Each structure stands twice: as structure tokens, then as C-alpha cells.
Structure 1
Amino acid sequence: MRIFFMSHRVIACILALAAGPLAALHTPQADAREISSYARVNDDGTLKIDGYTIRLSGIHIPDTERTCQTYRVPPVCGPRAALALKFKIDGFVRCEILSRNADRSLNGWCRVGAGHFDEGEDLAAYLLRQGWAVALPDASVEYQTLEKIARSRGVGVWGYPVDRIVRP
């Protein structure tokens, strides 16, 4: 009987030791490598997902004046870039977190329409194509090219009179 009791204690200790590292894998920091949930678009073009503020990596969204889309009831108002992002996002957004900023916001590669076999559409690339964002100097060649194409087409901020676009 004593051997039976001791073996349960030994098994319990082994399980506790094995569960420690597994529990560490489920901390919020580890789970934050990818966030997938409903997103709210802030006026500055950042996304609010599961309590996290996420900036689209590789781009800068310049300030634009507020406008209202009156063909919708009720009218939707906000900066043009934020409105373009709001209308693009329909449902869940999946973000792969790439880094953390000093202000505790996150930088991420975010996409919509992602499924099991489809990466979905890159939101930063969408904003660049529509001309509502500029590629950061260290952004990928793809992002730099999308910005140049939007500029040559005169869409988004490239088609509206602005004082100047300030890159960060």
C-alpha cells in the first residue's frame, strides 16, 4: 500500500515538473505572436484588436482631413485613410506581431479574409495600393513599388491637394 501511495506522489511531481514549461507557453506574450479577432479602426489608422493597439508594419498613414461618407446611414466620418481601412475590414483580422513599440503598441503584418489555405489580403499593401499610406524607408520592395504605382496613378493622398506628406 505504501508503494502505491509513493508512486502516486512521484507521478504527481513528474506531471507538475512537465506542466511548468507548458504553462509558460500559454502566457499572453507567447499568444501575442499572432492575434486574430474582430478589429476596430482608430482615427490614426491603428487597429484595436483584443485590447492591443496594432500599427500596420512597413507603412506610415499620413494625416488627412476628416470626411463623411453620407451614402451610408448613419453617415460614417473620419480621416480618409481610416475610412478606407474601415470599409475594407469585414469581420476578423489576423495579425502576425513583429515587434513592440515604446508606447506598448505592436507592429504587425495584418490581413483580412485569411483562411486555412489562404493568407488573405495584406492591409498595409491595400492602403498603399489605394494611396492612403506611404512606405517606410525600411519597407519591402513590394511596399515601395505599391506606393510608386499609387503616386503615378494619382490616387488617395496623391490625388488630393495636401500641403505636403511628412514621412516619419
Structure 2
Amino acid sequence: MGFRLFIGAASLCASFLAVLAVFAQSPVTVNSAKGYLILGETAYHLDGATLPRPDALCQSSNNDWPCGKAAWQTLTDRVIQGTLECSPLVSLLTSASIADSLPAECTLDGESLNATLVRYGWALTNASPAAPFQEEEELAREEALGIWRDGFVPPDNWRRSDASDCDVCSARHESIVRSRERHQQRTGEASTD
């Protein structure tokens, strides 16, 4: 009888440990400064979903607001409330370029975290025609969610504009050219001595 009791208790303990293993999650750390999250000991960046820099400001009808901080806080709030799993994606065209993090598709309680952040306006897709989550981004834009409130314009759109449209850009370009010329003059003078 004692042996059966021991086997029963051992089976119960093994079952309990198996259940704990299913519900246990590696600790998650969000590193907004470097643009990735750490699950266990591995750093991941969300493939196809780019959050604004943490110090980014977005314009609203009244003033600027800290949209970058809000986006990263939303990510942090979400990952601590559920079970996060990340699957690294392998690409022959790219390397782990974002501060040595791996591109990944992450799920939170079984739903794509990458797509969810884009869908609710806290992340952007890239500008390529084959970019994932374009439909989600369009819905977030139409519904003015997250960073899309108050007519947000993605940086790629205003950065691509012609330099002649920008007085500040022209002045900066002229300043850079003058600095290079001065540097060349100084190095030329130093080499003739």
C-alpha cells in the first residue's frame, strides 16, 4: 500500500510540474532604446512591424505628443499580460542587423503581436509592396488609431520629399558642403608643410 501511495504521489507531482512548465514563461524584457524585446536569453525585433523611436514626437491638432513612448509602453503592457512566444525568421537576404536581434514573428496568447501592433496603430510596416500587415496598417490609418490620430505622416513619406522643397534641407546641405571644403583646405595646408 505504501508503494502505491508513493507512486500516486510521484505521478501527481510529475503532472503538477508538467502543468507548471506549460504555464511558465521566460521573463520578457522590452528594450525600447535598442528597438527589440528579449524573451529568455534571445533578443528579437518584430518582423514587419516597426515601432517609432521611444523619443519620437507626433503632431496633433493641439501640440506634439510622445507617440514613441506610447507605442513602446503599449508593447510593454501587452507582453506582460499574456504568454509570449517568438519564432525567429531566417532570411538569406538579411542578417540580424537591429542591434544583434533576430527578426521574429511573435504571438501573444496565440495571436500575432506583430500584426496587432500594426492593426492598432502602434507600429508601421515598411514601404515595400510585399510588406506584411499592409491591410492592418490601412485599417489603423482609416480609423485614426494609435500614432495615426491627427493625420500622422510616416517618416518615409516626408523624408523622401525633394530636397528643393525644404529650405532647412538646402541650408543643411550647403553647410555640409562648406564644412567639407574647409576640412579639405585644412588637410591640404597640413600636407604641404
TM normalised by structure 1 equals: 0.58
Larger Rg: 2
Aligned to 1:111: 107
Does 2:90 align with 1:95?
no
Aligned to 1:41: 30
Does 2:131 align with 1:139?
yes
Give deviations 1:101-127, integer Å, cap 9, x for gaps: 1342100000111xxxxxx01111111
Rounded to whole Å, the distance in 2 between the matches of 1:87 and 1:160 is: 23
Decide which structure has greater helix share: 2
> Shift in Å at residue 38 of structure 1?
2.7
> Shift in Å at residue 160 of structure 1?
4.7
Overall identity of the aligned pairs, in %: 29
**Number of residue pairs matched by the alignment:** 114
> Shift in Å at residue 133 of structure 1?
0.9
- 5+ residue gaps, structure 1, are 1-35, 68-77, 114-119
TM normalised by structure 2 equals: 0.51
Aligned to 2:143: 153
Rounded to whole Å, the distance in 2 between the matches of 1:123 and 1:46 is: 13
Q: Which has the higher contact order (CA 8 A, sep 6+)?
A: 1
Aligned to 1:81: 71
Rounded to whole Å, the distance in 2 between the matches of 1:150 and 1:139 is: 16
- 5+ residue gaps, structure 2, are 1-24, 58-67, 160-193
Rounded to whole Å, the distance in 2 between the matches of 1:146 and 1:80 is: 19
125-134 vs 98-107, which moves further:
98-107
